[in-house]
Amino acid sequence: MHGLAEEPGTGRLLLATHDGLFALRADGDAPSAVGELNTDLMGFTVTAGGDYYASGHPGPGEEGPAALGLITSGDAGQTWQGVSLAGEADFHALDAAGSALYGVDGAVRLLRSVDAGLTWSERTLPEPVADVAADPGSDALVATSEAGLLLSTDAGESFSPLTDAPLLMLVDWAEDGGLVGISPTGQVHTAEYADDEWSEQATVDGAVQAMTVTTSGAVYVSTQDELLRSDDGGSTFSTVTSY
């Protein structure tokens, strides 16, 4: 599992995996394949308007460069088309907010696009990062690194370390402005804003792979064994499905 995202309008949960895109229509159901491609989808995000963006590598029997750059789907994941940076970028993290699209290439290069990925401007990262999350309501951006959480308030032009924040591997910005993060050991943390005090919530067992916060505030976490859901801000989790 490489990425999780909620589809606007339908509320179904999308799962970007090593073997293509899957969807979960309701908790308790088994995820079903979307489309016929088995592309290794790495970075993955869905805009508020319903556009899908991803990066990754061709699946068995599929054509294309080893690094697909940015690809997009306008038909809910049934088919994918190249947008830019084919053979040049391998985004392991993608996020969209407003008209901006952010991608982390190889952990060391942050790129930003405001024209749906056609052109990009490069930002300077002070540290290699694993994940990035953009505030839906501003130009703020947070990124996770081995040195700690990084905050930008100017769309990634500059970053400052948040020395009082916990060490996080994954982070997501909720619609209400709050943040949810998860540490490399599975400890869930929440904050009303990035530079506010962070609170410990539940600890998730197993190797964490992906996380997202839906528009309703539900927190989904994928581990190597199961998909979990929390409806109380990360205080408790229940199993949605095992795999």
Dump pLDDT digits (tens) for 141-157: 999 999 999 999 999 99
| Residue 167: pLDDT over 80 | yes
- The whole-model pTM stands at 0.95
- Stretch 193-198: mean pLDDT: 92
| Residue 21: pLDDT over 80 | yes
Average pLDDT, the chain: 94
| Residue 194: pLDDT over 70 | yes
Percent over 70 (pLDDT), the chain: 99
How remote is the C-alpha of 241 from its chain's centroid? Answer: 20
pLDDT interval class at 18 (50, 70, 90): very high
pLDDT interval class at 243 (50, 70, 90): confident
Higher pLDDT, 71 or 11: 71
Q: What is the pLDDT of residues 86-135, one digit of tens each?
A: 999 999 999 999 999 999 998 999 999 999 999 999 998 999 999 999 99
Residue 240's contacts (CB-CB under 8 Å, 6 or more residues apart) are 24, 27, 28, 220, 226, 227, 228, 229
Higher pLDDT, 137 or 69: 69
Q: Is 194 exposed, middle or buried (0-12, 13-18, 19+ CB in 10 A)?
A: buried
Structure confidence at residue 160 (pLDDT): 96
Structure confidence at residue 9 (pLDDT): 86
Q: Which residue has the tokens 């929390």?
A: 230
- Stretch 214-238: mean pLDDT: 95
